[in-house]
């Protein structure tokens, strides 16, 4: 908050008197798309950027009579060090992942950023897809990204045959068996245990990503 909100406030406070004196100016703040659609892990960042949006709109109305324009840009995910290169080595991908801990929060954020970057062709990812063998998955749950630490399927019903592709593996789609309904136990970003039943498409995505955690290649 000190950087994203308080910093923006103090920077504007410093330049506004000069802009008013010359009856002209432009203030451009940096927001983010996550201020609009949110993110499931690290809620402080989207909250701070939402505050920047509100501040920008209010300041724009206040300074308009002085011929001072105030706007904000809201970039999405771009290719930075937080967007990881995808792992394609089948030997690595065939190894089981180890349990995640609270020290792996940065891995979850990088995984979420990488999935968002590839959202046009991918609906879910496991940490081993970015080269980290930890039991962490992220996926599109009916329009909202969800993060799971140490997910386990505790109950399943309604088997069916289908075929799936994967960004990490060449070729495909490949035949596989899935279940229409699954009950999943996992930990959230506070490492609180959660249990929920998923059906349909979200259930299929989760099964694919848990296969990744278990070293099963699809």
Distance of CA 159 to the CA centre of its chain: 30
Active-site pick, 85, 142, 152, 209: 209
Burial class (CB in 10 A: 0-12, 13-18, 19+), 83: middle
Examine the residue annotation and report whether 209 is marked as an active-site residue of this protein: yes
* Whether 165 contacts 174, CB under 8 Å: yes
Report the C-alpha gap between 97 and 47 in whole angstroms: 32
Could you tell me which of 206, 184, 182 has the C-alpha nearest to residue 195?
184
Q: What are the backbone angles phi and psi of residue 156, rounded to the nearest 5°? A: -150, 150
Cα separation of the two ends of the chain = 42
CA distances from 30 to 27, 53, 75, 217 (A): 10, 9, 8, 41
Copy the structure tokens of residue 62.
Answer: 């206040």
Copy the structure tokens of residue 80.
Answer: 């930075």
- Among all residues, which ones are annotated catalytic? 209
């Amino acid at each position: 908050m000190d950087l994203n909100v308080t910093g923006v406030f103090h920077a504007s406070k410093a330049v506004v008197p000069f802009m008013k004196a010359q009856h002209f100016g432009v203030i451009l703040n940096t927001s983010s798309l996550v201020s609009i659609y949110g993110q499931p892990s690290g809620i402080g960042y989207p909250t701070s950027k939402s505050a920047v949006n509100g501040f920008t709109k209010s300041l724009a109305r206040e300074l308009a009579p002085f011929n001072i324009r105030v706007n904000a840009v809201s970039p999405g995910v771009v290719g930075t060090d937080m967007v990881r290169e995808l792992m394609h080595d089948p030997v690595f991908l065939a190894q089981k992942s180890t349990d995640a801990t609270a020290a792996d929060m940065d891995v979850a954020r990088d995984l979420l950023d990488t999935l968002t970057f590839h959202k046009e062709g991918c609906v879910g990812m496991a940490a081993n897809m970015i080269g980290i063998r930890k039991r962490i998955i992220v996926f599109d749950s009916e329009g909202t990204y969800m993060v799971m630490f140490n997910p386990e399927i505790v109950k399943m019903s309604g088997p069916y045959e289908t075929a799936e592709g994967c960004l990490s593996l060449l070729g495909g789609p490949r035949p596989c068996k899935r279940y229409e309904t699954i009950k999943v136990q996992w930990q959230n970003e506070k490492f609180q245990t959660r249990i929920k039943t998923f059906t349909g498409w979200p259930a299929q995505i989760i099964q694919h990503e848990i296969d990744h955690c278990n070293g099963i290649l699809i």
